[in-house]
Amino acid sequence: MTPVSVMKEPTSFIQLLGNGSSRCSFEFFPPKSEEELPKVKATLRRYTAQRPCFMTVTYGAGGGTRHLTRELTTFIQKDLGIPAVAHLTCVGHSREEIDKILDEYETLGIRYILALRGDPDNEEGVFRPHPEGFSCARDLVAHIQQRRTFSIAVAGYPEGHPEAQSRTEELEYLRQKIEAGAEIILTQLFFDADAYLAFVGDARDVGITAPIIPGIMPIGNVKQLKKFTVMCGATIPDKIVGDLEDIASDKEAVRAYGVKAAVELCEVLMANGVPAIHFYTLNKSKQVEAICEQLRDKRIGITGNREEF
């Protein structure tokens, strides 16, 4: 496969979203070992057919999979020719270590960062900043922005961050992350379009003008669904709960339902003019491929001409 040139100089998320070539992006996570890398890379190659505007790679708690995040990020950008976004968290890192990571990405030509505080890396589930590091994503964004070489994305929570004291407090903090230098917002998963639309409306009311890209995770496993919704502060609509109760023991039926529910959600979102849709793939391809195919069949375009990157 001949790589497509992604960028000749630092580009911004805004330019990626505005080039008219694609309205979808995908998240992947690094494997636990190098032996699993070929399988993950094969999955990434499959996703090039969807012509994403970018792909993101997560970062384990404390950077335990840091070298594999770097490996996949480089593979996406240099081998697949797709803009790669590296997740970067505050967990377990001093400022000096963060700078070394950023130096590595600069050397590799990676210019897109998703800046996050990160999940706690202890059994108590309480975030404790590194004594010489950053205590929140806002400060991490401000630090990265000082380099003027990265385009930065941050996370948003349509139904509220599990640790947030109030909607007002959370929106103010999100505004501060944008003011610190972030360009776009990628939301955590949700299953109710109204929750996302209300979140966008509230964000606009407090002066946040950055693009807010909805994050969609197809339902593929009932147990896993419950786990992720608790982690992300999301709720499962009563209709989905009821529908899943009837098919919970049938894995294929659950997956098919997950595709159907995601397509319906994407239809509503696209009709309301979202800038793009970000899919949480969980390193699987069949469900998201089916979703993209069904959206194309409905003439709802979320993909474009990859040669335009």
- E strands within the chain? 24-28, 54-57, 84-89, 112-116, 151-156, 184-189, 212-216, 277-280
Taking the C-alpha atoms of residue 68 and residue 35, their distance in angstroms, rounded to an integer, is 11
In the chain the domains, ranked by start, together with CATH numbers, are 13-308 (3.20.20.220)
Q: How big is the CA angle at 165 (ends 159 and 170), to the nearest 5 degrees?
A: 55
- Helix, strand, coil shares of the chain, percent, nearest 5, are 45, 15, 40
pLDDT digits (tens, 9 = 90+) for 253-275: 999 999 999 999 999 999 999 99
Q: Of 176, 179, 196, nearest to 188 (Cα)?
A: 196
Active site residues per annotation: 27
Calculate what percentage of the chain has a pLDDT beyond 90. Answer: 72
Residue 47 near residue 55, CB atoms below 8 Å: yes
- What letter does residue 196 receive in the DSSP assignment? H
For residue 4, give every residue at least 6 positions away whose Cβ sits within 8 Å of its Cβ, in sequence order, or none. 81, 82, 306, 307, 309
Taking the C-alpha atoms of residue 210 and residue 17, their distance in angstroms, rounded to an integer, is 12
pLDDT of residue 98: 94
11 phi, psi to nearest 5 deg = -120, 170
pLDDT digits (tens, 9 = 90+) for 4-26: 444 444 479 998 887 666 789 99
Calculate what percentage of the chain has a pLDDT beyond 70. Answer: 88
Mean model confidence pLDDT for the chain: 88
Residue 13 near residue 112, CB atoms below 8 Å: yes
Q: How big is the CA angle at 230 (ends 228 and 235), to the nearest 5 degrees?
A: 95
Residue 132's pLDDT band, with cuts at 50, 70 and 90, is confident
pLDDT of residue 307: 31
